[in-house]
Structures are given as C-alpha cells and as structure tokens.
C-alpha cells in the first residue's frame, strides 16, 4: 500500500481545480498547471479534495498511485507558493550574471557560457556566486538547476564548480610526496 497515495490532496483557498478523466487542471495566484495521470490510476474530486486510487494491485499500478498523488500535490504547491532551487558557485573567477533572457556563466573555460532561460522559469543572481532558479513547475525548476550545474559540477579536490546550496561535496586528499 502506498503511504503517499492514500492521503487526499486538499485544494487550498484561492485555487480552482478541475478533474476531467485523467486530466487534472489547477489555476492559482501564480499561474496555471495541468497533469495527465497514467491509465493505471483513477483521479476523482469531491468536497475540495482530490483523491487518487489505483485500478489494480500490480506493482506498476501501485507505483503510479504514489507518483500521481505527489504530482497533484506539486501542482497545488506550485500555483500557490512556487518552487525555488539555489545554486552556489565556488572557484576563483567563477561567476554568473543575468542579462535579459540569458544567464552568462564564467566557469573557467576559454569562453563564457550563455544559458537561455526557459519559459516559465525566472533566474536571479543576487551575488555573482549565487544563482536562484524559481518557477511554478517543480520539474522545470529542477531540470533547469541540473542543466546549469552540469556545465561545471563540483570537483572533489578543491570543491570548485557549481553545486546546490547545502549539498555536501565529498572531498578527496591530493597526491602525497
């Protein structure tokens, strides 16, 4: 039994939600999102609560049950509060700056990296060594942060590179004479 899937998702005040078959649409103060549930689950709405139930008891149905409920909960959080990922840049001369719809990254390469900011995502650089990715779609926010981190991931010897805020980098000892 899914512990996540059993809990119904409450529709907060100021949010309008509609369920049509497998399609869940949510509209709130920050925007509008939708989710198409897989065929293995049934989505229903009653008394301001959205419930997800599996159609069968096989492994796939039960896996989709918890995942679908989590996706619906993420829709509610996204349209009310939004999501945010913080990245930190470590290294001499490594920096980031937003210019219009482009994030300019200087990460020790012979050239600057121009990252085009996707639609629905906002990127801010309060300090040259800090990047904040915000948006209403949790998947897009996480994917954008991962793509930025991939340009120069943290290395284990000096810790230089782009890392998530709060991420622990396992440090290695250098060569000994």
Q: What is the pLDDT of residues 72-110, one digit of tens each?
A: 999 999 999 999 999 999 999 999 999 999 999 999 999
18-26 mean pLDDT: 92
Residue 90 structure tokens: 């470590």
pLDDT band at 177 (very low <50, low <70, confident <90, very high): confident
Same structural domain for residues 52 and 117? Answer: no
Same structural domain for residues 88 and 75? Answer: no
Residue 175 lies in a domain: no
Q: What is the pLDDT of residue 4?
A: 83
Residue 172 lies in a domain: no
Same structural domain for residues 37 and 53? Answer: yes
Residue 104 CB burial class (10 angstroms; 0-12, 13-18, ≥19): middle
Q: What is the pLDDT of residue 82?
A: 93
The CATH number linked to 138 is: 3.90.930.12
Backbone angle region of 114, left / alpha / beta, with phi > 0 → left and psi within -120 to 50 → alpha? beta
Same structural domain for residues 23 and 91? Answer: no
């Amino acid at each position: 039994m899914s512990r996540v899937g059993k809990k119904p998702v409450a529709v907060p005040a100021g949010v309008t939600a509609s369920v049509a078959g497998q399609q869940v649409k949510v509209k709130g103060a920050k925007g509008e999102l939708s989710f198409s549930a897989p065929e293995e689950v049934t989505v229903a709405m009653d008394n301001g609560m959205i419930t997800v139930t599996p159609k069968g008891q096989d492994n796939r149905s039960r896996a989709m049950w918890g995942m679908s409920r989590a996706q619906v909960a993420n829709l509610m959080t996204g349209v009310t509060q939004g999501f945010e990922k913080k990245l930190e840049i470590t290294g001499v001369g490594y920096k980031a700056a937003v210019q219009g719809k482009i994030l300019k990254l200087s990460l020790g390469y012979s050239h600057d990296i121009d990252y085009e900011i996707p639609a629905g995502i906002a990127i801010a650089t309060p300090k040259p060594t800090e990047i904040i990715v915000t948006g209403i779609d949790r998947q897009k926010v996480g994917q954008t942060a991962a793509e930025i981190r991939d340009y120069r991931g943290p290395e284990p010897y000096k810790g230089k590179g782009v890392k998530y805020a709060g991420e622990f980098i396992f440090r290695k000892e250098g060569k000994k004479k």
